[in-house]
Amino acid sequence: MTQYDLHCHSTRSDGLLSPTDVVRRAAARGVDVLALTDHDELAGLDEARVAAHECGIRLIDGCELSVTWRSTTIHVVALGIDAGHAALADGLDEVRRGRDARARRIGESLADAGIPDAFEGALAYVTSARLVSRTHFARHLIDAGHARDMKDAFRRYLTPGNPGYVAHQWPSLAQAIDWIHGAGGRAVIAHPGRYKLDAHERRALFAEFRDLGGGALEVVSSSHDPAQFAEFATLARVFGLAASCGTDFHGEGESRFDFGELPPLPAGAVSVWANW
Ligand code: AMP
Ligand code: MN
Ligand code: MN
Ligand code: MN
């Protein structure tokens, strides 16, 4: 059976391995078709494509776009995009610039809470001058002794209601889907089980996503437990969306599933790759 993994990160965003090493690890662990989906960034794809060719696996050009939907941050995975498409690339350039200003504000917020120099601290963990994320703050907070591990860093800081969280306006869902479709890709709602939405809001999100031409829900993810695999497979069917799967790998030991460990889609699910 062909093994698909359609969501992961490299050092071009907040992952710990270079695009080449991400591809090599995935290939060595049995992945046949891999999408590299760095946050708001396409710069790792050229390198990943070369590595995929060398390893004999198929690379899907992807990206994970940050979106604001009704004041909630949602992630939308783009699959099969043309990375050279100007509107998408220019849009993401702008999004990454917004991340720089946001990171300064996160640093100020942490300073107000008695943790000075976190912005500079986070920059020491940044692996691409083009992109800073909360993950880099988390790694700094852990190594500086303010948090035990990633989960703790996000729980105590960096999430709504905590010092170190700053609200940020990302592109709208319509804008993100427009960029993805303009670049010839398909849009997938990443890890839908992670969002703090009630059942009604969740259905509103999926309906709006479908009406905008969105293609799939990520059903099998490191962010989901087995009950959620079944739950989101059902919801995908109800909303006429396909099902996707991805580890959301960032580095060894950081997520529930490493490459090659993803369970299959629930029986009866229509996969996002059915017509690839
Ligand atoms: P950002 O795009 O800068 O808002 O950072 C989001 C990233 O932070 C996600 O892609 C994850 O890598 C990481 N992240 C968010 N929430 C958590 C969490 N609760 N535990 C561990 N990592 C998290
Ligand atoms: Mn991430
Ligand atoms: Mn995500
Ligand atoms: Mn991700």
Q: Is the CB of 66 under 6 A from ligand 1?
A: yes
CA 10/CA 20 separation, integer angstroms = 9
Query: Identity (one letter) of the amino acid at 205?
Result: L
- pLDDT of 254: 87
Domain residue ranges of the chain, discontinuous segments joined by +: 99-158
Give the neighbor-by-neighbor strand order of the sheet with 186-189. Answer: 4-5, 33-36, 58-69, 72-79, 186-189, 216-221, 242-246
- Rg of the chain taking only CA atoms, in angstroms: 18
CA 206/CA 76 separation, integer angstroms = 12
Instruction: Output the CA torsion sign for 271, 31, 23, 141.
Output: positive
CA of residue 1 to ligand 2 center, whole Å: 28
Query: Which atom of ligand 1 has the smallest separation from the CA of 135?
Result: 8
DSSP letter string over 44-70? THHHHHHHHHHHT-EEEEEEEEEEEET
Residue minimizing CA distance to atom 6 of ligand 1: 134
The pTM for the full model equals 0.98
Residue minimizing CA distance to atom 12 of ligand 1: 135
pLDDT, tens digit, 9 for 90 and up, residues 30-40: 999 999 999 99
CA 258/CA 253 separation, integer angstroms = 8
Q: Specify the pairing of strand 186-189 against strand 216-221.
A: parallel
Token pair in block for residue 42? 């396409």
Going by C-alpha positions, the residue among 247, 274, 273 that lies closest to residue 10 is: 247
pLDDT, tens digit, 9 for 90 and up, residues 216-239: 999 999 999 999 999 999 999 999
Query: Identity (one letter) of the amino acid at 4?
Result: Y
Token pair in block for residue 157? 């800081």
- pLDDT of 63: 98
Q: Is the CB of 247 under 6 A from ligand 1?
A: no
CA 125/CA 118 separation, integer angstroms = 11
CA 248/CA 234 separation, integer angstroms = 21
Q: Is the CB of 137 under 6 A from ligand 1?
A: no
3-state class of 275 per DSSP? coil
Element (H, E) at 28: helix 19-28
CATH of domain 99-158: 1.10.150.650
Low-confidence residues of the chain: pLDDT under 50 = none
Q: Is the CB of 154 under 6 A from ligand 1?
A: yes
- pLDDT of 64: 99
- pLDDT of 228: 98
Residue minimizing CA distance to atom 2 of ligand 1: 133
Asked whether 136 and 122 are in contact (CB, 8 A), the reply is yes
Q: Is the CB of 135 under 6 A from ligand 1?
A: yes
Going by C-alpha positions, the residue among 221, 220, 212 that lies closest to residue 250 is: 221
Nearest ligand to the CA of 13 is: 2
Strand partners, 204: none
Residue minimizing CA distance to atom 8 of ligand 1: 135
- pLDDT of 185: 98
- DSSP annotation of 249: B
- pLDDT of 32: 98
